[in-house]
A and B are shown apart, each in its own frame.
Chain A
Amino acid sequence: MQSSYFVRRIVLAFLAIWVALVLNFLLIHLMPGDPAERFYADPRVPPEAKEEIIKIFGLDKPLWQQFFLYARNVFLGRMGISFTTQRPVLEVLLERIPWTLAITFIPTLAAIACGIWLGLYAAWKRGTVFDFLLRTFGTAVNSIPSFWLAMILIMVFAYWAKIFPLMGMARPGVSLANAPWEFIKSVAYHAALPMLTLFVLSFPGYALVMRNAVISVLGENYILAAQAKGVSQTRLLWRHVLKNAVLPLISMFSLSIAGVFGGAVLVEQVFSWYGMGLLMVRASQARDFPLVQGAVLITILCTIIANFVADLVQGWVDPRIRYG
């Protein structure tokens, strides 16, 4: 009954996407205020665009027809016109997504790599000071607000030590067009503290999960058998322990991809890092409804898809799940 696992996951993801669309649509229409405001009734929208929007979204048609038109438009990428920039919402979103990925991708990879090593070491040296420190730090880090950690790091590294810049994404005046190499260097320099913040917040989670997984794997019979066979310490760790202990981490990683889209909002706000998260906040404050809806919808859709991929990957890597 292997295929049923994958089929169930696909059906679930498909239904979840529809629920997200319905939810978004209902929020537009049920929330206090005039739904027309959400699409076009804003002084910033040029009058020609109004007619077009009414036609595309079918705002003069009955509600249920509007929903299907809305769903169709979302899949075609037409999410309306942003009030603040008078550009299509999708265009604005696609501009911002790479910036968010720029500060979330590397820290996640680094956190996993670090987490694997630290967790392995802590499990091997279970009960020592190192293990205790890791566990304490791991529990504490869950309670530290991400934006507070970011501000503390800015205080320490940007204000006192003056190593890194306070905020922003690149030095003003430098852009990809006029000085590409300088631009890349400047972006990397500005991304250091945001990436450090995200790294510090995520690696304890991986380390703790790895530690627990290794401890439970070490108790398995096949490890005892390998030791009885005379397998060397290193080979034992690498070949037998690591491969089996890493399984929960793979699912954690896949889930963290899902969290990437919504998670960096607070850190982006602190560093004025203009990615998807900060876009959502600023659009919300400017009452730019189409942009906020579009951004949140894309985030939800990406989260659903990422979760689905996570389930698939876990099913592929760990055959026990497929039969369970």
Chain B
Amino acid sequence: MRFSRYLRLFRRPLGMLSLLFLVACLVCAFAAKRIAPYDPCDPKARDILFSAQGPSSKHPLGTDVFGTDILSSLIYGTRVALIVGFTTGIITPLLGAVLGAISGFFGGWLDRALMFAVDVIMVLPGLPLMILVATYVGKSYWIVVALFSFLGWPGISRMVRARILSEKAASYVEAACSYGAHWFRILFRHLLPSTYPLLAVTAARIASASVLAEAGLSFLGFGDPLAISWGKMLAEAQSQGALLLGLWWWVLFPGLAITLLSLSFINIGYLLEEVFNPRLRCGTRW
């Protein structure tokens, strides 16, 4: 691993900040019990005397009407957000890339069938379907992961397929065929890596969108009722009258967390694109 090649990335301040933020969130998610000053799930830890107070020395981001510390809730909330973001950001591109690669590489009836499925699925709206599935199945953030993957793979598939189709005619593929390379090797060792830059950006964008979707679903009340989620915090803020009472800290901070995490994923996507696409890195000979 030549680390010197990655030193150039430090020249991207936005990317570095986003990476830092994501790492901070990961730390919060893993070490929540040790970092969070109070335990948001423990009814005894609720500070009733301090409830609905703004940011103070005792509660840096304030408390809600129940007396729960908002900073602690935010820290515990990173878990759900990161689980949804990472799983969706990994599964969807994987699914889309494999299906798109197979479709583009083999062509024929398989290609036509898959592209028809792509055209149909891309038209379906996301949130109404999530509400429908949640009505039948119950409340969980895995609905977001499953539905996002189901609705998201077509977009990626189409992109990967287009790239594979254009790369199929390249001379290095012809060379590989001539020395008798197995189709598996050609597809996964030569063709698919050419899609990595675009795939990385798209994966990041999907992770970002899935965080927002999970927040939205939790806000509507369809998220996991036992887990702490930033969207659920905003839902509680609204239903407990934060808007009527002017408890701005209860509204500002959870939403800010969602926005910042979402933005971080997108910027990291741009960073990844630079890592994977050698032509974008300044100074390399191409």
Contacts and interface: CB of A to CB of B under 8 A. Distances in A.
Interface of A: 12, 15-16, 19-20, 27, 31-33, 139-140, 142-148, 151-152, 154-155, 158-160, 166, 258-259, 261-263, 265-266, 269-270, 280-281, 284-285, 287, 289, 292-293, 295-296, 299-300, 303-304, 307
A280 B215 contact: no
A143 B262 contact: yes
A269 B237 CA distance: 13
Interface string B120-139: 10011111110111111100
Contacts of B243: 151, 154-155, 158-159, 166
Interface of B: 116, 119-120, 123-129, 131-137, 208, 212, 215-216, 219-222, 231, 234, 237-238, 243-244, 246, 248, 251-252, 254-255, 258-259, 262-263, 266
B95 to A, nearest CB: 18
A15 B116 contact: yes
16 contacts: A16-B120, A32-B137, A33-B136, A142-B208, A142-B262, A143-B212, A145-B259, A160-B246, A262-B126, A262-B128, A263-B125, A284-B135, A284-B222, A296-B131, A299-B128, A300-B129
Contacts of A139: 263, 266
A292 B132 contact: yes
Given A143-B262, A292-B135, A269 B246 contact: no
A133 B212 CA distance: 23
Majority DSSP secondary structure for residues of B touching A: helix
A160 B212 CA distance: 27
A152 B253 CA distance: 11
B70 to A, nearest CB: 15
A148 B255 contact: yes
B263 A140 contact: yes
Nearest to A262: B125
Nearest to A272: B238
Given A148-B255, A151-B251, A166-B244, A293 B124 contact: no
Given A145-B215, A147-B216, A159 B246 contact: yes
Contacts of B215: 145
Given A16-B120, A152-B251, A307-B123, A145 B216 contact: yes
Contact of B123 (A266, A269, A292, A303): A303
A187 to B, nearest CB: 20
Contact of B128 (A143, A146, A265): A265
A205 to B, nearest CB: 14
Given A144-B259, A263-B127, A289-B135, A151 B246 contact: no
A285 B131 CA distance: 10
A263 B237 CA distance: 22
B207 to A, nearest CB: 11
A284 B134 contact: yes
A155 B251 contact: yes
B200 to A, nearest CB: 17
A169 B255 CA distance: 25
Nearest to A285: B221
B131 A281 contact: yes
A265 B237 contact: no
B266 A27 contact: no
A110 B220 CA distance: 27
A148 B211 CA distance: 14
A135 to B, nearest CB: 12
A148 B266 contact: no
B123 A155 contact: no
A152 B255 contact: yes
Nearest to A303: B125
B188 to A, nearest CB: 31
Contacts of B216: 145-147, 265-266
Contacts of A303: 123-125
A83 to B, nearest CB: 12
Contacts of A15: 116, 120
B212 A145 contact: yes
